[in-house]
Structure 1
Amino acid sequence: MLDKIGEYEFIAEPFHCDFSHQLMLGHLGNSMLNAADYHSNDRGYGMEYLNTVHRTWVLSRLTIEMDTLPKAYDKFKIATWVEGAMKYFTSRNFAVTSSEGQTLGYGRSIWAMIDTNTRQPVDILAVRDGLISEYIETEKPCPIKKSSRVKIEGESVLKRTIDTYYNDVDINGHINSVKYIEHTLDLFDLDFYKEYRLRRCDVAYVAESHQGDKLNFYVQQNADEYLVRITKHSKNSAEEVEVVRILLKFVKE
């Protein structure tokens, strides 16, 4: 067996960084998801194997909380491990450190497994006789709060409606999990980011959307927190369906 914790090195490529020379959160999120993919594939329950049996992982919740983001050209490491596994959901954590070992932040995520033909949830523990259970790590701390369901109550204001295209779609054929974050962060202009830094991002994925869907972004502000509700209008339906809820917590620079 491999170690329960996997650690992978990345680099903050300069054109993945913003005006402050810091890595954009979307690119950090993609690095986390890549680390999760490397970790699960190496241990035999990743997408390389799952696709041969018409299964795949889909993200249900994602939390990223950062004290500091890597800067352009910085090398950084992401450690990842499975904290728990049940029939329909598994929890996976992340720790982001500098190349010198300084803690930069953490992440939490919850995943489901679906049948790629029916798009319905399937039993995670039935895959390879519950192999994932042999890699559960409960001793390594992840000191940030658990992922939120992101409850949104009361009135929200429609801020933007966008179309979706080829570049929004991922390997699973639906809108990429991180694209929702990137489109949400685009709701705030450059001057806002000169004054505020995103400290924590909670994302709750509710339903899938696909290329050609229109995404509507509704925003509600509570002090330094912003609640964003994303809905879709599909090409073949006039019904408005909720797909994602996001909570953003900013701190003043």
Structure 2
Amino acid sequence: MKSYPGRSQFIARSSEIDYQGNATMPALVSYMQEAAWENTRSMGISMYELLERGLTWVLQRMRVEMFRYPKHGETIVVETWASGRERVFLHRDFRIYSLENELLGQATSVWLVMDVVKRQLVSVPDFISEIEVVPNQEPLSFAKGKLPQLQEPQFREQMPVRWHDIDLNRHVTNTRYLQWILYTLPTEVLEQQLQELDVIYKAESLLGDTVISEAGTGDTETIVLHKLSSQQTGKELVQAKTVWELKKLEG
């Protein structure tokens, strides 16, 4: 079987926009994940089909670049395709278009396969690796390398993990982590445009946990570094870097 690109349409709903009427970053990431689900379903390797084998998909990293955010009620097209493989890492790219074919944003992501009972990552099964990757365009640069560590947090919040934070894998859903990353920032930052997001998912968080969200400025005043960690274990759950269109960030 061959892997071909998929195209899915979405409408920016009122529950998915900010005070300016633009779709939020968590909403856009949710659209991209839904488009990926549809594309994998056409190949017989969607999450439901993996769950029947005791396996599941896990998002390990995602790098997003936005040029323009869709407005409330605007219909967008998300194109996605499997863009390559490296050992246990499965790469998938996305491009977001308006109906007029304006490129609104793009993203690249890294996926792994997890055993749902052992909660451990496994080698890519043959029924997935045997699918031939047929991208329709040049892949984006793979999301690789380390992100700079947050050294001196300026902002900190606690987030208890509740029922509606949990997804099909029975751990905190990826988009909830993104919301918690952004919730920690002051209003004067959130009022600016988020241009780039690079997030690494390192460990899962379960129902009943408490997540500590911390953030602080990076090498330049437009870069913010983020860390989510478990209050119970101290384990780092998520590391991220955001790039904003703003003049200055003050603690």
TM-score calculated relative to the size of structure 2: 0.90
SS of 2:130 mapped into structure 1 = helix
CA shift, 1:29, in A, is: 0.6
Q: Does the aligned pair in 1 maintain the 2:155–2:184 contact within 8 Å?
A: no
Aligned equivalents of 2:81 and 2:223: distance in 1?
A: 29
Q: Relative to structure 1, is the Cα distance of residues 100 and 220 closer, same or farther in structure 2, using a 3 angstrom cutoff?
A: same
- Determine the structure 1 residue equivalent to 2:196: 200
Aligned equivalents of 2:16 and 2:63: distance in 1?
A: 20
CA shift, 1:148, in A, is: 5.2
Q: Does the aligned pair in 2 maintain the 1:106–1:142 contact within 8 Å?
A: no
Q: Residues 175-194 of structure 1 correspond to what in structure 2 (within 5 A)?
A: 175-194=172-191
Aligned equivalents of 2:238 and 2:190: distance in 1?
A: 23
CA shift, 1:163, in A, is: 0.9
- Determine the structure 2 residue equivalent to 1:141: 138
1:60 aligns with 2:60: yes
Please report the RMSD computed on the Cα atoms of aligned residues, expressed in angstroms: 2.0
Q: Does the aligned pair in 2 maintain the 1:58–1:111 contact within 8 Å?
A: yes
Unaligned 5+ segments in structure 1 are none
How many matched pairs?
245
Q: Relative to structure 1, is the Cα distance of residues 142 and 105 closer, same or farther in structure 2, using a 3 angstrom cutoff?
A: farther
Q: Residues 112-131 of structure 1 correspond to what in structure 2 (within 5 A)?
A: 112-124=112-124, 126-128=125-127, 130-131=129-130
Aligned equivalents of 1:145 and 1:85: distance in 2?
A: 10
Q: Residues 1-253 of structure 1 correspond to what in structure 2 (within 5 A)?
A: 4-124=4-124, 126-128=125-127, 130-132=129-131, 134-137=132-135, 140-143=137-140, 146=143, 149-152=146-149, 154-157=151-154, 159-194=156-191, 196-222=192-218, 223-234=221-232, 239-252=233-246
**Counterpart residue identity of residue 130, structure 2:** L
**Counterpart residue identity of residue 121, structure 1:** L
Aligned equivalents of 2:155 and 2:185: distance in 1?
A: 14
Unaligned 5+ segments in structure 2 are none
TM-score calculated relative to the size of structure 1: 0.90
Q: Does the aligned pair in 1 maintain the 2:3–2:43 contact within 8 Å?
A: no
CA shift, 1:14, in A, is: 2.0
**Bigger helix fraction:** 1
Q: Does the aligned pair in 1 maintain the 2:170–2:206 contact within 8 Å?
A: yes
CA shift, 1:245, in A, is: 0.3
Deviations 1:44-84 (A, max 9, x none): 12212111110100010011110101100000000001111
